[in-house]
Amino acid sequence: MWLLLAFLSAALLGFYDAFKKKSLRDNAVLPVLFLNTVFSSLIFLPFILISAFTPALNGTMFEVPVVGWEVHKFIIVKSFIVLSSWMFGYFGMKHLPLTIVGPINATRPVMVLVGAMLIFGERLNLYQWIGVMLAILSFFMLSRSGKKEGIDFKHNKWIYFIVLAAITGAISGLYDKYLMKQFNPMVVQSWYNVYQVFIMCPIILLLWYPKRKESTPFRWDWTIILISVFLSAADFAYFYALSYEDSMISIVSMVRRGSVVVSFLFGALFFREKNLKSKAVDLILVLIGMFFLYLGSK
């Protein structure tokens, strides 16, 4: 069941990436990120309030149990880690093609794999190792595809932003596994979204608002709401996948990167991005890798 939830999360993440790319096109990054945290919080706020003041959600998967500071302090750390990853990722995605960003993000599970082996003692079988090796190979092939568009992986700062987003995202994934072993999934997902709003407020007021006229202006786009909706749904499936005792964060993380399939299609069909043939080879390698991971997890 946890593997099916991981695949569902991957599909939803693909739509999330596509709507994120659309909302960031010729738009200010920080306000889009801030609104994403606001709308995500509004999605979960009713569950927090209903759970706190009525028994209507008791015993359901939507219940948000009331917890104390001993739990909230771990969730606050989660909020800072995720927000760091999002900041790097949003700026990088604004300036790079979606068909480049997606496959780079697809290599994030390799870092999670190393961490899972060192921290949680997870071990991969032959099929799973084949899947990981194919993911690594696809990254190096992607760097060649990027050069055809004038994107030098060594000297383009936005590539480094996406790589930093992947690293902090991998740290977040490992931390998620630790949290899901101890805490209710809805508690973590609901409250980390709320805390991100409070973290973003000073960032908006101090870093963006005073200099808003000197940079790309902010414009409203309805896809900003869709970012929050699809991200919240993807994370909901993801956290419940990790809550299963036999779930493996190394595999869940790898499967979630299958979102590159959806984002690649959006990049090709709606954003009219270039050099699709060479990038498609990278994508096929990722897909074959996902297949081997599935075989190894049966």
pLDDT at 1 over 90: no
Mean of pLDDT over the chain:
82
Place of tokens 């939507």: 62
Residue 113 lies in a domain: yes
**pLDDT digit string, tens, across residues 231-274:** 999 988 888 888 777 777 767 777 776 776 776 776 666 656 66
Q: What is the CA radius of gyration of the chain?
A: 19
| Percent of the chain predicted with pLDDT > 70 | 81
Residue 244 lies in a domain: yes
Residue 60 lies in a domain: no
Residue 146 lies in a domain: yes
Domain that holds residue 30: 1-55+66-296
pLDDT confidence of residue 298:
61
**Crossing angle, helix 223-242 and helix 2-24, to 10 degrees?**
160
Length of the chain in terms of residues written: 298
Query: Ramachandran region of residue 126, left (φ > 0), alpha (ψ -120 to 50) or beta?
Result: alpha
Residue 47 lies in a domain: yes
pLDDT at 290 over 80: no
Residue 198 lies in a domain: yes
Q: What is d(CA 247, CA 259) in angstroms, rounded to the nearest whole number? A: 19
Weakest-pLDDT range from 15-24, 102-111, 140-149, 271-280: 140-149
Cβ neighbours of residue 96 under 8 Å, at least 6 residues apart? 151, 156, 158, 159, 162
**pLDDT digit string, tens, across residues 139-186:** 666 656 655 555 666 667 888 888 898 889 888 888 988 898 889 989
pLDDT confidence of residue 278:
66
How many domains is the chain partitioned into structurally? 1
Residue 61 lies in a domain: no
Residue 201 lies in a domain: yes
